[in-house]
Amino acid sequence: MIHFTCDCCKRPIETADEFRYVVRLEVYASLDPAEQELDSDRDHLEEVHDILEQLDDAESDQISGDVYHQARFDLCSNCRKRFVKNPLGRATSHELNFSQN
């Protein structure tokens, strides 16, 4: 039997009693097309292919980490609620609590 643990609070997730939520994170370098010269003769697919071949080389492990990173996390329902509210984990300045008049 597979056991899951919340990657945030480290609590075991009982799959029969609650949902397990999966967060997939993908971070990659973005090239700004406005800064590049527009050239209709360029073969963009060939350039992407060349970049991917370079990333496969053992020598470019450091470069590939700087260009692309992928991660997967399991969350319990409580941590999922907190993550959806604040996905970047920013500190909230001051939460206001209003009365129920």
pLDDT tens-digit series, residues 38-57: 556 677 788 777 777 776 66
Is pLDDT above 90 for 9?
A: yes
**Rounded mean pLDDT, 15-28:** 88
Both tokens of 12, joined, read: 């075991």
Is pLDDT above 60 for 89?
A: yes
Distances (CA, A) of 25 to 4, 30, 74, 82: 18, 15, 11, 16
**Helix residue ranges, H only, 3-101:** 44-56, 61-67, 77-85
How does the average pLDDT of the chain come out, rounded?
80
**Rounded mean pLDDT, 73-94:** 89
Is pLDDT above 90 for 71?
A: yes
Spatial separation of the C-alpha atoms in residues 12 and 16, rounded to whole Å: 12
